[in-house]
């Protein structure tokens, strides 16, 4: 919503707000356990805001996003995907969407929390995530930090307990960054630490970009 005010409206066709807790598009009001959309419908937003009820863990609903959001965008220009505060494995779903849809030229992913520990004991023993050229499991995310990890993780404050959680979170973010398929189409990616929560660990942002050269307006490659 802030972006609808901040971004140049003439350069944006619409902002699609995706969440499984929106009401159905045909509903008149939001149900008790749904997100109210009054602020969306009542506001005179500079860029049109559209809500889309979608469970991004359901492959059928992801296909619907491809059909009704990413597909039509081919005619208008590139898509920027903002995936902010994605809990647990939702971050994996966002990355799969970026990997599968070249129309998404930029992705900003701010992972929210580690995937649940129940995934270590799931029927699939443990849950695993596979991407083009990369694969990791819930065990890789939750196992104790080893000296091997210290070689690939950024330095962290060494406060007891908190330091370990910080490192596990950094390792989760590293796995996510590696899951972004950078094998083609000029994909670049990087993780940046931006201190928004000084007393907590969720300060890592993943940026991924694709060259925009195929867009009719041309344009420079996103800087990563």
Interacting residues with ligand SAM (CB under 6 A):
19-21, 54-57, 84-85, 87, 90, 112
Residue 138 CB, nearest approach to ligand SAM (Å)? 17
The number of residues making up the chain comes to: 224
Kindly list the strands in the beta sheet with 204-209, ordered across the sheet, starting from the edge strand earlier in the chain: 79-86, 104-111, 204-209, 188-193
Q: In the complex, what is the shortest distance from the CB of residue 89 to ligand SAM, in angstroms, rounded to a whole number? A: 9
Output DSSP code: residue 8: -
Ranges assigned E (strand) in 87-186: 104-111, 128-131, 134-137
What minimum distance in Å lies between the beta carbon of 18 and ligand SAM? 6
Enter the tokens of residue 186: 């000029």
DSSP bridge partners of 19: 53
Shortest approach of ligand SAM to residue 143 CB, angstroms?
Answer: 25
> Taking CA 134 as the corner, what is the angle to CA 63 and CA 136, rounded to the nearest 5 degrees?
95
């Amino acid at each position: 919503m802030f972006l609808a005010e901040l971004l140049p409206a003439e350069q944006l066709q619409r902002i699609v707000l995706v969440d499984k807790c929106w009401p159905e598009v045909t509903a008149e009001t939001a149900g008790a356990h749904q997100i109210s959309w009054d602020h969306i419908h009542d506001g005179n937003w500079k860029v049109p805001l559209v809500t889309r009820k979608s469970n991004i863990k359901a492959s059928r609903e992801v296909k619907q996003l491809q059909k009704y959001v990413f597909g039509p965008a081919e005619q208008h220009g590139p898509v920027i995907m903002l995936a902010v505060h994605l809990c647990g494995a939702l971050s994996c779903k966002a990355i799969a969407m970026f990997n599968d849809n070249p129309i998404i030229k930029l992705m900003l992913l701010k992972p929210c929390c580690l995937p649940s520990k129940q995934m270590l004991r799931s029927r699939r023993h443990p849950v695993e995530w596979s991407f083009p050229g990369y694969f990791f499991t819930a065990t890789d995310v939750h196992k104790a930090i080893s000296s091997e990890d210290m070689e690939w993780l950024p330095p962290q404050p060494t406060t007891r307990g908190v330091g370990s959680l910080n490192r596990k979170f950094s390792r989760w973010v590293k796995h996510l960054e590696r899951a972004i398929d950078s094998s083609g189409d000029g994909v670049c990616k990087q993780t940046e630490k931006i201190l928004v929560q000084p007393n907590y660990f969720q300060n890592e942002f993943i940026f991924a970009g694709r060259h925009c050269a195929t867009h009719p307006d041309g344009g420079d490659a996103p800087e990563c």
